[in-house]
Structure 1
Amino acid sequence: MSHWDDLLGHAFGLLLGQPLAEFDPAGTYAVFHYDDETAGEVLEDLDPAELVADVDGRSGDNGGDWLYPGRWVPDLARSAFVATDVRPAALQPLLTVPTDDGRAMVWGRDLGRALQAGSLSLDELTPDGYRRYPHLLLRPRTDGSLLDAMRAATWTMSAPDGLCDIGDSLVRHGYVEPGASVVDPRWESALDQVGDDALRRHLRGLCLDARWARSAGGYYLGPGECPGDFLPIADLPGSRVIAGWEFGEGQGATVVVLLDEPHDR
């Protein structure tokens, strides 16, 4: 492992409450992200070929130094589409068993195959009322390891490049007095143990207190905590939620989850 992999692995262990080595090394760990701006709009310009394409390899970085999904390399085949009220009969056999709140899920690859076969059309999936159509839970490309899943979830795929300092930005723009902490006190002591200053500042921006996370950075829910948008994935047989984050006032969320699928990438 590289020096930065060691730094990141130690930092992630601090956030997860146990070293990465204590997690199942044979498991497949994935990241899923939801944001309400693109969750449904993606269907309007969807290329079915992207839904069936294999996207293998370690997490990539499309560039930038902020926390936004555009930096990830998307893995649409292994992404999930979740629906509450799905009309097309051709889609029904592809759906997982609905959850208690009526949501059901279809994997991107299955959706793409149905679109390519002509048994389903994009016109049948267009919006008809708020969330009455499948919305995207984006899965970034990762190699299946917990280290790489956490890299993607924290936007540290290209560290030390691509790191940001949200706390400093809040001070520079006059929102916070110099020296004041904007970090959730639950994570202060863990973050103080992160060995690299730039990495520590970056991760602090993903562990803001509830007030500041509404407008910048992220709110870290903690180990094993699942944002509500991902319950259809968390409820899959063999799934285990590792950690979750929320962004804004419910507009976005990210989860790291252990899935019951082969770790062969």
Structure 2
Amino acid sequence: MTYDWNGSLADGFAILLGRPLGDFDRQATYALYYSCSDLAQELFDEKFDPGVLARGEIVHPPYPSISILGELLEGWDLIAPHWSIDLGRSLFRAGDTGEGAALGLPQLDEGMTGADLGRELVERQWKPRKLRKTFPEIDFRIHTDGSLYDAMRAATATMTGPGEIFETGPVHGVEARWEQALAALPDTELREHLSNLCRDEQTARSDGAYYLGARDPGLQSGAPVVAAWRIGEGQAFSAVVQS
């Protein structure tokens, strides 16, 4: 009998979501966003090309057209360096209200898409470092096919097949309720991989991630959250939303 990897993933996602994927609105579009406050502050340096934003590029690892992004993701996150990122549809906002207006870009206080921000930077011929004064917040939109299944695959780094999931480290400190729930998965590799993304709050500060369920971790879009994770000391999060 052929092993049904896609079926196993769907079972794992159903455990995390509390219901089967088929119970969600199939006509809706689902997206994955990733935010890291430390990374956002460092992104706008001399290596940053605003034209990449203005063109609304979808960039793929190792991000040759925006190398600083690849360098930062490698340093801050385990999963993020494997994503393709839709820069044009990513969201940018001043971290402190009024900082955008003080800079002469009041739209940034309300939030701008990457494409809109890039066009402003190009037209004004601003150096990207100027944006650091606004303490920017960025919700990177991960490129997926719009389905809940694909958004969850990206969020959990299960985009590859069985035997190809990258290592997330030894399984420990898993929150008890998720350890018990995920025990129903017969695939050891998948069970351990998803368990690493369901650690308790203390363990997740240094390893894996803390699963928030459908709680909003602080997204700019305000879209309904389907699943979210807090990463590290709380400076980063990822969230699957229905848009």
> Does the pair score TM above 0.5?
yes
Cα drift, residue 127 of structure 1: 2.0
Superposed counterparts of 1:80-119, under 5 Å: 80-83=91-94, 84=96, 85-86=99-100, 87-89=102-104, 91-92=105-106, 94-95=107-108, 104-116=110-122, 118-119=123-124
Superposed counterparts of 1:66-81, under 5 Å: 67-81=78-92
Structure 2 residues not aligned, in runs of 5+: 63-73
2:56 maps to 53
Cα drift, residue 218 of structure 1: 0.3
Q: Give the letter for the 1:75 counterpart.
A: D
Q: Give the letter for the 2:120 counterpart.
A: A
Cα drift, residue 241 of structure 1: 0.7
Residues 35 and 251 in structure 1, CA contact (< 8 A), matched pair in contact too: yes
Q: Distance in 1 between matches of 2:50 and 2:178?
A: 42
Residues 42 and 136 in structure 1, CA contact (< 8 A), matched pair in contact too: no
Distance 1:123 1:163, change over 3 A: closer
Cα drift, residue 36 of structure 1: 3.1
- SS of the aligned residue for 1:162 comes to coil
Query: Structure 2 length normalisation: TM-score?
Result: 0.81
Cα drift, residue 186 of structure 1: 2.2
Q: Give the letter for the 1:244 counterpart.
A: A
Say if 2:161 is the partner of 1:195: no
Q: RMSD of the alignment, in Å?
A: 2.4
Q: Distance in 2 between matches of 1:27 and 1:151?
A: 17
Q: Give the letter for the 1:162 counterpart.
A: I
Structure 2 residue aligned with 1:227, among 207, 217, 221? 217
Cα drift, residue 120 of structure 1: 6.1
Cα drift, residue 114 of structure 1: 2.0
Q: Give the letter for the 1:226 counterpart.
A: D
Residues 76 and 108 in structure 1, CA contact (< 8 A), matched pair in contact too: yes
Deviation per CA, 1:85-126: give whole Å up to 9, x if none.
21333x32x44xxxxxxx63211111122223x146235733
1:245 maps to 229
Cα drift, residue 138 of structure 1: 1.4
Say if 2:16 is the partner of 1:28: no
Q: Distance in 1 between matches of 2:128 and 2:51?
A: 17
Residues 33 and 238 in structure 2, CA contact (< 8 A), matched pair in contact too: yes
Say if 2:241 is the partner of 1:257: yes
- SS of the aligned residue for 1:257 comes to strand
Q: Give the letter for the 2:230 counterpart.
A: E
| Percent of residue pairs identical | 38
Q: Distance in 1 between matches of 2:194 and 2:160?
A: 14
Cα drift, residue 183 of structure 1: 0.9
Cα drift, residue 25 of structure 1: 1.1
1:174 maps to none
Q: Which has the higher helix share?
A: 2
Distance 1:144 1:22, change over 3 A: same
Query: Structure 1 length normalisation: TM-score?
Result: 0.75
Q: Distance in 2 between matches of 1:82 and 1:42?
A: 14
Q: Distance in 1 between matches of 2:57 and 2:20?
A: 31
Cα drift, residue 39 of structure 1: 1.4
Q: Give the letter for the 2:115 counterpart.
A: R
Structure 1 consecutive aligned stretches of length 4 or more whose deviation exceeds 4 Å? none
1:173 maps to none
Size of the aligned set, in residue pairs, is 221
